[in-house]
Amino acid sequence: MRICLMMPLVSLLAGPALAADTHPFSVRDMLAMDRISDPRVSPDGQSVAFTVRATDLEANKGRNGIWIVPTAGGAARRLTSHEADGTQARWATDGKRLFFVSTRTGSAQVFHISKDGGEPEAVTKLPLDLDALEVAPGGRHLLFAMAVFPGKTPGETAAMLEVQSKRKASGRLYDHLFVRHWDTWENGTRNHLFSYEVATAKLVDLMPGMDADSPSKPFGGSEEYAVSPDGRTVVFATKDVGREEAWSTNFDLYAVPIDGSAAPRKLTTNPATDTQPRFSPDGRTLAYLAMSRPGFEADRFRIVLREWTSGTERSIDLRGDTSATGDRSPDDIRWSLDGRELYATADHLGQHPLFAVDAATGAASILVGDGHVTGPQPMPGGNVLYGRDSFLGPTELYVVHRVARIAPVRITRLNDEKVAAARFGKPEPFTFTGSASATVHGWITRPVDFDPARRYPVAFLIHGGPQGSFGNNFHYRWNPQAYAGAGYAAVSVDFAGSTGYGQAFTDRIRNDWGGAPYEDLMKGLDYALATYSFLDGDRVCALGASYGGYMINWIAGKADRFKCLVSHDGNLDEHSAYYMTEELWFPEWEHGGPAYDTPEGYTKHSPINLVRSWKTPMLVVHGEKDYRVVFPQGLATFTALQRKGIPSKLLVFPDENHWVLKPQNSILWHETVLGWLDQWVGKR
**288/301 Cα distance (integer angstroms):** 9
328-364 pLDDT, tens digit each: 999 999 999 999 999 999 999 999 999 999 999 999 9
Give me the percent of the chain exceeding a pLDDT of 90. Answer: 93
Write down the number of H helices and E strands in the chain: 12, 42
**568/573 Cα distance (integer angstroms):** 15
Domain 425-681, CATH homologous superfamily name and number: Alpha/Beta hydrolase fold, catalytic domain (3.40.50.1820)
Report the half-sphere exposure of 228 (CA within 13 A, side-chain side).
Answer: 19
Is residue 114 flagged as an active site residue? no
Nearest residue to 631 via CA among 583, 542, 639 = 639
Beta strand 648-653 with 618-623: parallel, antiparallel or unpaired? parallel
pTM: 0.95
Catalytic residue from among 389, 626, 648, 666: 626
Give the lowest-confidence range in 131-135, 195-199, 202-206, 377-381: 377-381
User: What's the N-to-C CA distance of the chain in angstroms?
Assistant: 43
Is residue 216 flagged as an active site residue? no
Contacts of 168 (CB under 8 A, 6+ apart): none
Is residue 626 flagged as an active site residue? yes
Catalytic residue from among 192, 372, 463, 658: 658
**419/54 Cα distance (integer angstroms):** 15
pLDDT over 80 at 326, yes or no: no
Report DSSP letters for 319-336, one per residue. ESSSSTT-EE--SEEEE-
**632/465 Cα distance (integer angstroms):** 20
**92/416 Cα distance (integer angstroms):** 31
Give the lowest-confidence range in 80-89, 293-302, 468-477, 661-670: 80-89
Catalytic residue from among 47, 222, 390, 546: 546
Q: What mean pLDDT, rounded, does the chain reach? A: 94
What are the domain boundaries of the chain? 425-681
514-545 pLDDT, tens digit each: 999 999 999 999 999 999 999 999 999 999 99
Q: Is-contact 320 326, C-beta < 8 A?
A: yes
Give the 3-state secondary structure of residue 36: strand
Contacts of 580 (CB under 8 A, 6+ apart): 630, 632, 633
